[in-house]
Amino acid sequence: IKAVHSTRYLLRHTAIEVFFSDSVAPVFFNFQSPKDAKDVGTFIVSSRNELLYPKGSSRDKNDIIHFVDRRVALEKAEKARESWRRREISNFEYLMVLNTLAGRSYNDLTQYPIFPWVLADYSSEKLDLNKSSTFRDLTKPVGALNLKRFE
């Protein structure tokens, strides 16, 4: 187990998602109440940490995990932003981290990950990334990009 995130299901904070360090897909659990979700998430995290690092253990504790709630998610988002700014992670990896921390998941079709629509040029054979007209105006919502629709 690599991480346990508190998340929403049908816009209610009653779910957790468990992520693994190998190629196993994350597992999504929904509960009756937010308290049940938090209790189970906390139990999984503490059991995992105690199993790997028993009390009195002198092992390096770098692999201790925390239950990812809103506070921890904000800290992780800041770390991801800094990694992205230093070009240590790609745009896709950064957006996936943000989607995951925001509770978006492939395991919940109502909260599927999103990616911003950034291109405006779909007709050129080759994109000129130095030309501003290649990219959409991010100051406007997608519906306001077409002048006819905007009016």
Question: Mean pLDDT for the chain?
Answer: 88
Whether residue 81 is found in the same domain as residue 142: no
Q: What is the residue type of 95?
A: L
pTM, two decimal places = 0.69
Whether residue 29 is found in the same domain as residue 46: yes
The count of domains in the chain is 2
- Note the pLDDT tens digit of each residue in 54-73: 777 766 666 788 888 888 89
Name the nearest CA neighbour of 77 among 57, 100, 58, 107.
100
Give the CA diameter of the chain.
69
Whether residue 68 is found in the same domain as residue 86: yes
Q: Which domain holds residue 106?
A: 3-115
Whether residue 83 is found in the same domain as residue 151: no
**Which residue is associated with the tokens 């904000």?**
74
- Note the pLDDT tens digit of each residue in 30-56: 999 999 999 999 999 999 888 888 777
Q: Tell me which residues of the chain have a pLDDT lower than 70.
A: 58-62, 149-151
Whether residue 80 is found in the same domain as residue 145: no
Whether residue 27 is found in the same domain as residue 89: yes
The span from the CA of 115 to the CA of 122, in Å, is 17
